[in-house]
Amino acid sequence: MEPAPASLARRFGALLIDWISCLLIAGVFAKPTDEPWLAPGIFVVVYTLFLGFFGQTLGMRLMRIRCVSLHTGGPLGVPRALLRSLIMLPLITTLIMDQNQRGLHDRAVGSVVQAV
């Protein structure tokens, strides 16, 4: 039986946790008002590495969801995770979903976010 797609509430909760953690990490190095691209840069690095190798970020783990390849069910790999992360930055792209609850960023790289 295939795992169910993650709900929008879980996905948003995971994204919020990940974004806050990136802001906290960026705050250690500089004020976010002085270096406005530091937190988004950390976000891209964290999402790329964690989704690329493990299929979950900290927020996804806490919200009990994972992002995997639609075709293999395994982690995306770094190149696809990087593309997914960059597409997510404008945030509006995460809200454009199809009938299977896959966002534009998911469709672009062939990923699916599932409840664990």
Tokens 């295939």 locate to 2
pTM score of the predicted model: 0.89
Terminus-to-terminus CA distance in the chain, angstroms?
Answer: 12
Contacts 24+ apart (CB under 8 A), 45-49: 46/18, 46/21, 46/22, 47/18, 47/81, 47/84, 47/85, 47/88, 48/78, 48/81, 48/82, 48/85, 49/78, 49/81
pLDDT in tens, 26-82: 999 998 788 999 999 999 999 999 999 999 999 999 999 999 999 999 999 999 999
Tokens of 76: 């995306």
Is the pLDDT reported for residue 23 higher than 60? yes
**Which percentage of the chain shows pLDDT scores above 70?**
98
